[in-house]
Amino acid sequence: MEYVTLANSDLVISRLALGCEPLGSTDWGDVDASLTFDAVVRALELGINTFDTADIYGLGRSERVLSQALGSRRHDAVIISKFGVNWTENPNGGRARTYFDARPQRVVEALESSLRRLRIGCIPLYLIHRPDPRTPIHETMIALRRCQEAGKIKYCGVSNFSAQGIREAHRIFPLTAVEIQYSLIERRPEQDTLPCCQELGISVLAYGSLGQGLLTGKYGIDARFGRNDRRHRLPHFQGRNLQENLRKVARLRKISEYYSKSPAQVAVRWVLENSAIAGAIVGAKNSEQVEENVGALGWQMRQKQRRYLIDGRPLSKFKEVVRTPNDY
């Protein structure tokens, strides 16, 4: 396992974090709750100590299940949770109505609820899930600082913020981490967010490193998803976007065969080898997927192969590849 200390903190995280949205049992198609529980247990066994969740995942279910799966180790794990997307449940049993909400009073309310579901006294890293355009960021950050002073959060960060938003938040309450969506098919953060975080000395955690499963190589041009799976509405699974992304998957296959890795392992490794990325948050529906994801650690790609994955520049020969034994 690879570990790194997050900026402005004493938090030592595994560079591969388990994304716990599947524990909420919503938005990812059919999910077997017992298997997602096992995924958390297996992650611990393999040395993963970092678990990323949010109150909105399953309307609190993800946090509850994560706490149960971690057991007594929940006090030692680096739990990342998020708030800022509030909800009103549908009395008819349909999807809840969600809305952005980072008001100071919501900070306190959401935090207390997450602490109760997670069964811990302090959340190691607490993030604003998404910007709330109706609430001035300084009001939210001041409320978070007070929560830290009360000993209920250790460090704070933001998720899905622009570079400008990161700067504004960081001026009020120094951020430890920023979560962004970053992968071979989502490279826009290279233009602004990553340089901003490097300048300010903030650690970056990447989610979506597998393109919501597309970069695993499991899906082709005929990929279809049910209405209970958000991928049915994601643009990179549709039309010309899908065609272009499948060309990247083909390149992943070529590199993965050479390294005796899976396309998923190569895709995550590509993210981790960006020096601006502290860690990758990768979800799993079962323990087998966790085991595969851990295979992204303990080896390196040559620079020209990284470039090939981006632009398809022809590779005349693969030579002098360093194959490091994977010791998990």
Residue ranges per structural domain of the chain = 3-219+265-301
pTM above 0.85, yes or no: yes
CB atoms closer than 10 angstroms to residue 183: 24
Query: Which fold would CATH assign to domain 3-219+265-301?
Result: TIM Barrel (3.20.20)
d(C-alpha 139, C-alpha 291), whole Å: 42
Q: What is the pLDDT of residue 321?
A: 44
Whether 126 is catalytic:
no
Instruction: Select which of 57, 182, 259, 308 is catalytic.
Output: 57
Q: Extract the residue ranges of the chain whose pLDDT is less than 70.
A: 25-30, 93-94, 219-220, 223, 225-226, 229-233, 235, 237-238, 314-328
pLDDT digits (tens, 9 = 90+) for 95-146: 778 899 999 999 999 999 999 999 999 999 999 999 999 999 999 999 999 9
Contact between residue 277 and residue 220 where contact means Cβ atoms under 8 Å apart = no
